[in-house]
Amino acid sequence: MAKLYFYYASMNAGKSTVLLQASFNYRERGMHTMLFTAAIDDRAGQGIIASRIGLLAPADMFAPETDLFAAVASAHAVGTLNCVLVDEAQFLTKDQVWQLAHVADDLGIPVLCYGLRTDFLGNLFPGSQWLLAIADTLTELKAVCACGRKATMNLRIDWQGKPVVSGQQTEIGGNDRYVALCRRHFEAALAGQHQP
């Protein structure tokens, strides 16, 4: 029976690398995958999933209005899909998370979602909230804080490296805008007691 999976972590935990490796493993065995990434994330170019270690692959893009079930069903009708992989899953809407659940339940295709759990203030992203609520399998990927403890939080920094304590939930960026920290150092940084 196909399942809906959510692999979550802070920044720099290798989520995109793991996604690309999973897709490669399917394809190496002659199976077909469909990759999605958020249209809002253009750091590597539109419709590209890229990892910090240099792996990349083209992907279909999703925006809030994209019907993911319809997109997958249409592709599956043309040629059998063995797995659907979604990068930047925190940007999914509630409806899209349910659409992906129906891909697993109704089409029998495993769906592997990869994304951040929380934003720069420690609040859940909508996509992550609903994946945590309904996914069949939840797996935390590990990142490391500078202190050596597990990094679970994403601190947004300004151009001078100072912590940002307010603003829009979504701001696309990489190591230039975010630092993965343990909860203790995240709280200290937001309180102005620690520099990342």
Amino acid present at 118:
T
- Per the annotation, the verdict on 88 as an active-site residue is yes
Degrees to nearest 5, angle at CA 94 with 90 and 96:
80
Helix or strand (DSSP H, E) at 50: strand 48-50
The amino acid sitting at 73 is A
Catalytic hit among 28, 65, 88, 187: 88
Written as six digits, the tokens of 103 are: 């891909």
CA distances from 139 to 5, 112, 114 (A): 8, 11, 10
Give the Å distances, CA to CA, from 94 to 28, 31, 60, 112, 139: 33, 29, 19, 16, 20
Ramachandran angles phi, psi of 109, nearest 5°: -110, 125
| The residue to which tokens 């990342």 are assigned | 196
Residues 141, 162 contacting (CB under 8 angstroms) = no
The set of catalytic residues is: 88
